[in-house]
């Protein structure tokens, strides 16, 4: 029987496949209960990320070439790893990654940091599934604002693969909008228009010219 597969439907949002006799015992809650709990947990611990890396400068800045990435993650202390395993097993996607405390000490910041584990996915199919989940089970904290902007970015990539220059420009706009909303805690970022020009700090441009590819900026 352990080779058979049973499908658990999460309240019509998506289907997750688990081998019977293996994962069933790890799912003590119903699908609806899990998704309600998951939405509340993400309200406190989730992170919707858009990353930007400057790779090439082509004046005028409107035609700047940037690399943009999208992902979702939850980071917890190492002793809370079972919670992340529980989330991964119930969703049926994502990875749980070990993050040693030394990663946060390279520049002297966070001297009291502890080892962590992170649940993470950057696959667009997974991100699209998360969009469906949080549309059906809304977030209520400030993460709801982050999700709204992140959702737009996911939809741009899923619908067009982000290959068109206008789509890449809009993704850059969404990155800057998310940075602004997190920094100032409001929705007062200018509305997107065809006249939008990316706000690239001068020091980043100079650094890019001197050293080439940069480490991505994460928010």
For the stretch 39-90, pLDDT in tens is 999 999 999 999 887 655 555 554 455 678 899 999 999 999 999 999 999 9
Give the whole-number percent of the chain exceeding pLDDT 90. 41
Say if residue 94 is exposed, middle or buried (CB neighbours under 10 Å; 0-12, 13-18, 19+): buried
* pLDDT reported for residue 69: 87
What's the whole-number average pLDDT of the chain? Answer: 75
pTM above 0.75, yes or no: no
For the stretch 160-180, pLDDT in tens is 765 667 788 888 899 999 999
Residue 152 has pLDDT above 90, yes or no: yes
Helix (H, G, I), strand (E, B) or coil at 23: coil
Alpha carbon distance 176, 166 (integer Å): 15
Alpha carbon distance 119, 87 (integer Å): 8
Q: Name the residue with higher pLDDT: 130 or 58.
A: 130
Say if residue 76 is exposed, middle or buried (CB neighbours under 10 Å; 0-12, 13-18, 19+): middle
For the stretch 179-206, pLDDT in tens is 999 888 877 888 888 888 777 666 555 5
Residue 209 has pLDDT above 70, yes or no: no
User: Does domain 5-211 fall into CATH 3.30.590.20?
Assistant: no
Kindly list the domain boundaries of the chain, sorted by start residue.
Answer: 5-211
């Amino acid at each position: 029987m352990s080779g058979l597969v049973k499908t658990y439907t999460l309240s019509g949002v998506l289907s997750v496949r688990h081998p019977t006799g293996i994962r069933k015992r790890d799912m003590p809650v119903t699908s609806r209960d899990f998704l309600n709990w998951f939405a509340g947990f993400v309200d406190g611990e989730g992170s919707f990320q858009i990353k930007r890396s400057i790779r090439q400068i082509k004046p005028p800045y409107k035609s700047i070439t940037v690399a943009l990435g999208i992902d979702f993650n939850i980071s917890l202390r190492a002793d809370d790893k079972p919670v992340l395993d529980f989330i991964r097993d119930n969703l049926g996607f994502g990875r749980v990654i070990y993050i040693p405390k030394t990663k946060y000490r390279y520049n002297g910041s966070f001297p009291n940091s502890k080892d962590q584990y992170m649940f993470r996915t950057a696959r667009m199919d997974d991100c699209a599934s998360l969009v469906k989940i949080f549309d059906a089970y809304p977030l209520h904290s400030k993460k709801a604002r982050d999700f709204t902007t992140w959702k737009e970015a996911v939809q741009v990539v899923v619908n067009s693969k982000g290959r068109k220059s206008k789509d890449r420009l809009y993704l850059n706009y969404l990155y800057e909008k998310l940075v602004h909303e997190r920094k100032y805690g409001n929705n007062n970022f200018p509305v997107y228009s065809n006249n939008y020009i990316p706000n690239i700090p001068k020091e980043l441009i100079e650094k890019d010219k001197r050293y080439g590819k940069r480490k991505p900026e994460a928010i």
